[in-house]
Structure formats: C-alpha cells, structure tokens
Amino acid sequence: MDGSATPQSFEPTRNAALDRLRVFAPKAGGDYARLRNYDLGPGRHSHVSTLSPYLRHRLLTEDEVLRTVLARHSPQAAEKFIQEVFWRSYWKGWLEMRPAVWTAYRAGLAAALNRTQVESGLRQRWSDACNGQTGIDGFDHWAHELIQTGYLHNHARMWFASIWVFTLGLPWELGADFFLRHLHDGDPASNTLGWRWVAGLQTRGKTYLARPDNIARYTERRFHPAGLAPAAPPLAGPDHPHRRPAPVSPHWTASRRSGLLLHEDDLSPAYLFETGLAPVSQIRLQTTSARSPLAVSPQVTAFVSAALEDTATRWRDRSGEDAGHHDQVDAIADWARASRLEQIVTPYAPVGPTAEALDKLDAALAPHSIALIRPLRAYDERAWPHATHGFFRFKDQIPSLLSAMGL
C-alpha cells in the first residue's frame, strides 16, 4: 500500500491499518500542518492520514498512533496532527458525560424523517442533497464521493454540512444521519457533535460558513460554487444538559469463567488479555444497522463485518471456542447461558448503538446472574474527564496526557 491509495481501498484489517500508519507517519509533522486543509479529491488524500476508519473501530488505537508519530517527530513538530487525534477523544468524552445529546439527536432525526413524509418540498430537497442533484458545485461531487467511497476529507465534511444547513435549509439531523449511514468512520460522538458545531448548537454562537473563495482555494479551484448562503445564523436549541461523571473502569477478576464479546467500537482487545483473561469462548456482536432508522450503506456494513472477522481470526488461539457473528443480543445471551459463563468481558463501548445494545444485553443477563464486564482503556479513563468545556481547555491537558503515556 502506498500513500496514493484511493479512499475506497480501505481494507478492513489491522495489517492494512498498520501499513497506512507506517506510510503516513513520516508526513505527520510539517507536511501535515501545511497541507491538511487541501481536499484534492479521491485518490489524492495522501497528505492526511486516512486512518479514521481504523481508529473509529479501533483496529488501531489512539495510543498506537501517537506513539508511532512521536517516534518520528517532536510534539511541537506534530502538534497539529496530535491535536486531531485528541479531538476524537475530546468528542467521545464530551458525549459520554452528556448522553442526553445523543438521545436528543435521535429524537430530532425521527421528527425530521416524519416531516419528509408530509412536506413534499423538504422531501425533494433532502433527496436531491443525498443524491448529489442540487446543482451546487462541489456539494454534488462530495455527495457522490461519500456514497461511492465511504470517505470524505474533513474540510469537505465541514463545507458539505454548512451548505446542507445554511444554503439548503435542511435539518442538520438528516445530514448527520446521511454521514453516519455512509462513512466508514461514522462515529456517534464525532459525527453528531461535529454537525452540531457547524450549526451553532455545540459552541453557542459559533457556526461554520462555507465560502466560495475558501472552497476554491483548498480544492485548488476544482470547485467554486455560486449561490451559497452569505451568512450562517446559529440554529436555536436547548442548553447543554448537565454533565454526569465520566465512567470509570469496574473492579473485576479475570479468573471467573469468562466469554469474550467483540464489538465494532473496539477491535483491539489486547488490553483485556493483559489482565489475564482466558475466555472459554468468543462471540461477535455487530450493531451497524442500528446507526440509523434508514438503510446503512452495504459497504459500511461489509467493512465492519470483515473487521470483526479479522479481529476474531487474530485472537483465535487465545479466545476459546468460536461462537460466531451475530446482530441480536438474544443470541449473545443464549450463548452465555449455554456456555455456563459467569461473566462476559467486552471492551467499553461509548455512547451510541453498541452501548445501547450492551445495556439490553446486561438486562437480559441479570436474571441469570451472569455479569457483563466493560473495562475502560487507561487512555480513555485519563482523557475523557477533561472534556468538561470546549476543546481549547481540553487541549491544555494534552502535554500531561502524553506524559502519562510515557511520551
């Protein structure tokens, strides 16, 4: 694999993720800081890492990426890239302490979808936007690129979201759902909060306005759209909910009769085996279809399915009997009872469809006295509690977080 690999070449394996990290690491310093805002189109994204699909599912971990980059660059030289890695951690921590924002997004999406059933004008504008038939230069290309490749450059995502909200006047929840259905790196925290930020709901009064000259500059004049909204007034919305405490890892013992549950939010279970976990059986849970009430892209579903199988294969020798790949928690509960498990151990899943499925599983297991253990990674347990306010306050903690990692 080389740095010019096209976005649609995302291979859903850890080896592919490590190859991509190896190729990118030398460019994570000055090259990244200078070129990261340029969207040069499919097949020309080599100036950014394109690691997000792997980080989203933790085929690679943030810890591994930071260690690899800082083996090549000083923290000062790689500052911009390091901040991008920690943005992901910040979004997750922020939503983890305010899960009601995810619940409100889901309710807002349901309401917006209901509107499309009775408002023909809205339904047509939504359909045109999703199918890249608006006539807006650049926007239609990005809609097609997203559907075809499962990837968009981050700057293009911001332009797209701004045009969706302020030029097309579409509900932001429908746009967030469009991304979540089609992005290989579709993530409840980054996606939801990123759209809220563009719309002025995340940081009060702060919106993002897509400007034709900015688009022309950073696409090297591939696009220069006309007719964009000249202003981006913030959308109205409720105040942020009160924070709940950040989660902490539970006390548990690896010596009990255990099963390992793999899920799509964290496919690097080494930290569980390091505790001495020796499962008698392993099973996979896929929740991709629950990302949206609409159909999720088949290529996203296939990516996740293959990534789960890659992880199961890599850990087969230490995972006991293979109990297969499932999309219903009832099958997981049946497996736990049939295997006479005392506990199921699974990586912690942050707010989103997987966490919701695990909550249902926990309730199904309780009458049978089978514990569901969800240990946090040390990286998350250190970082998430700092996501109390805006990113810039969180950013001040990056040196101490790196120091705690020995970096």
Neighbour count for residue 326 (Cβ, 10 Å): 16
Going by C-beta distance under 8 Å and a sequence separation of 6 or more, which residues neighbour residue 372? Answer: 343, 344, 346, 358, 361, 362, 365
- In 3D space, the residue among 281, 299, 271 whose CA is nearest the CA of residue 376 turns out to be 271
pLDDT tens-place values along the chain, 407 residues long: 233 333 448 999 999 999 999 999 999 999 999 999 999 988 888 899 999 999 999 999 999 999 999 999 999 999 999 999 999 999 999 999 999 999 999 999 999 999 999 999 999 999 999 999 999 999 999 999 999 999 999 999 999 999 999 999 999 999 999 999 999 999 999 999 999 999 999 998 899 999 999 999 999 999 999 999 999 999 999 999 999 999 999 999 999 999 999 999 999 999 999 999 999 999 999 999 999 999 999 999 999 999 999 999 999 999 999 999 999 999 999 999 999 999 999 999 999 999 999 999 999 999 999 999 999 999 999 999 999 999 999 999 999 999 999 99
Q: What is the pTM of this model?
A: 0.95
Distance of CA 91 to the CA centre of its chain: 10
CA dist 176 to 64, 98, 141, Å? 29, 18, 18
226: burial class by Cβ within 10 Å (0-12, 13-18, 19+)?
exposed
Neighbour count for residue 359 (Cβ, 10 Å): 13
In whole angstroms, what is the distance from residue 34 CA to residue 187 CA? 26
CA angle 257, 259, 265 (to 5 degrees): 145
In whole angstroms, what is the distance from residue 368 CA to residue 100 CA? 30
The pLDDT tens digits of the residues spanning 281-340 come to 999 999 999 999 999 999 999 999 999 999 999 999 999 999 999 999 999 999 999 999
The pLDDT tens digits of the residues spanning 160-199 come to 999 999 999 999 999 999 999 999 999 999 999 999 999 9
- In 3D space, the residue among 299, 303, 304 whose CA is nearest the CA of residue 287 turns out to be 304
Which single residue is written with the structure tokens 């109205």? 236
DSSP 8-state code for residue 246: P
Decide: 41 and 288 in contact? Cβ < 8 Å: no
Decide: 39 and 153 in contact? Cβ < 8 Å: yes
Phi, psi of 88 (to 5 degrees): -60, -45
Amino acid at 378: A
Decide: 259 and 335 in contact? Cβ < 8 Å: yes
Amino acid at 190: S
Alpha helices for 258-341 (secondary structure H)? 270-273, 298-314, 329-338
368: burial class by Cβ within 10 Å (0-12, 13-18, 19+)?
exposed
User: What pLDDT score does 205 carry?
Assistant: 85
CA dist 90 to 84, 85, 124, 250, Å? 10, 9, 36, 22
